[in-house]
Structures are given as structure tokens and as C-alpha cells.
């Protein structure tokens, strides 16, 4: 077995398709900031949704739903996409890979589902609630005919927080180990 000397250039450059250490650190920082921000946004939206659900004061409900639409309407899209894209960059640009470990694949699918649900279902509920309160600038809560909207604005962020917390646990614990590789072509399993 011979040992070959590495040139100074080969030690500095990552393998093709891999992030350099500086790029990896930047991607990790971006991923952590966007993920934590997305989690914090859902915590804020859950707090406002709970205030809207439990209040008997129509002005408190109107204010909560306007604030939810303002925060969610501005932040859900960039935070969910940044989290998803930075996670993809990290998984594809490092030896971890996207489908090499079950915990990474699970995080990917959970994040993809959460991003889709946030962008389509939750944003629509936020806009719907803001529209209803805008149509009823005065009067009691009962006159607004909010129906199940009040519950959706609590249930959706609560479920989102469970998903995001699960992703944090997966990142820290890294359960299940490596996926088993498929048999090589031409080799019959014994």
C-alpha cells in the first residue's frame, strides 16, 4: 500500500459536488436561522390564534387575526423556502446525502410537507380570517360567522410546531442509522 502526497491545492478543494468548509458553515448558519425563525413564527401565530379563539372581545379577535395575516403573509414563504432549500443544499453538498440516512430523508419529507401546508393551506386560512374581520369592522364576534376558521388558526400552527420540534429532535438524536444499500447490479443476494 503506497501513500501518495497530496498537493496543497488538493487539500483545500472539496471533492466535486461537495461544499467547501466555508460554504458548509454558511449553509448551516442559514439553515439554523431560517428553521428557528420558522418555528418561532409558528409559535407567535399559535399565540395569536389562541388569543383569537379564547377571547370574547371582538376587537382583540380582529387585532389578532390582522397581526396573524401580517406576520404569516410576509414571513411564511421566505422562511419555509429558505429552510427547505438550505436543508437540500446541506444534504446534497455534504457526505450526509439526502437519502443515505433515514433521519435526513424523514426531515426532508416532513419539511416539504410542512412547507406545502404552510404555503397553501395555512396562508389561505390566514387570508380568509383577515378578510372576514375586514368585512366586519364593528360588531360582535358572533356576527362575523367565522365557523371553523377560529379552530384552524390554532390547530394548524400547533401541528406545525410538533413537526418542527420533531425535526429538531431528529437533527440532534440522528436515529435509525444509515439506510441499507441496495444490492450491486449483477450480484444476487444470498
Q: Write the pLDDT tens digit of every residue in 17-74.
A: 788 989 999 999 999 999 999 999 999 999 999 999 999 999 999 999 999 999 999 9
Residue 181 lies in a domain: no
What mean pLDDT, rounded, does the chain reach?
87
Residue 14 lies in a domain: no
**C-alpha cell at position 77:** 414563504
The single residue listed with the C-alpha cell 368585512 is 135
- Would you place residue 96 in the very low, low, confident or very high pLDDT band (cuts 50, 70, 90)? confident
Residue 30 lies in a domain: yes
Q: What total number of domains does the chain contain?
A: 1
Q: What are phi and psi of 79, to 5 degrees?
A: -70, -40
Residue 136 lies in a domain: yes
For residue 148, give its domain range. 21-173
Query: What is the pLDDT, as a whole number, of residue 8?
Result: 54
Full-model pTM: 0.81
Residue 187 lies in a domain: no
**C-alpha cell at position 40:** 418561532
- Spatial distance between the Cα atoms of 131 and 136, rounded to a whole number of angstroms: 9
* pLDDT over 50 at 190, yes or no: no
Mean pLDDT throughout 161-179? 88
Residue 43 lies in a domain: yes
Query: What is the pLDDT, as a whole number, of residue 114?
Result: 94
User: What is residue 148's three-state secondary structure?
Assistant: coil
Residue 147 lies in a domain: yes
- The string of pLDDT tens digits covering residues 103-117 is 999 999 999 999 999
Residue 15 lies in a domain: no
- Spatial distance between the Cα atoms of 39 and 168, rounded to a whole number of angstroms: 10
Amino acid at each position: 500500500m503506497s501513500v501518495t502526497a497530496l498537493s496543497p491545492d488538493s487539500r483545500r478543494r472539496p471533492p466535486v459536488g461537495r461544499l467547501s468548509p466555508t460554504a458548509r458553515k454558511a449553509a448551516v448558519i442559514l439553515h439554523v436561522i431560517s428553521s428557528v425563525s420558522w418555528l418561532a413564527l409558528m409559535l407567535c401565530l399559535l399565540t395569536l390564534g389562541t388569543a383569537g379563539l379564547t377571547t370574547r372581545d371582538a376587537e382583540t379577535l380582529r387585532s389578532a387575526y390582522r397581526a396573524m395575516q401580517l406576520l404569516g403573509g410576509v414571513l411564511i414563504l421566505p422562511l419555509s423556502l429558505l429552510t427547505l432549500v438550505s436543508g437540500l443544499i446541506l444534504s446534497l453538498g455534504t457526505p450526509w446525502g439526502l437519502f443515505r440516512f433515514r433521519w435526513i430523508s424523514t426531515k426532508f419529507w416532513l419539511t416539504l410537507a410542512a412547507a406545502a401546508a404552510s404555503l397553501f393551506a395555512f396562508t389561505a386560512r390566514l387570508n380568509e380570517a383577515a378578510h372576514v374581520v375586514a368585512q366586519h369592522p364593528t360588531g360582535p364576534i358572533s356576527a362575523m360567522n367565522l365557523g371553523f376558521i377560529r379552530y384552524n388558526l390554532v390547530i394548524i400552527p400547533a401541528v406545525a410546531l410538533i413537526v418542527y420540534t420533531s425535526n429538531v429532535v431528529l437533527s440532534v438524536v440522528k436515529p435509525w442509522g444509515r439506510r441499507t444499500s441496495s444490492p450491486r447490479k449483477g450480484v444476487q443476494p444470498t
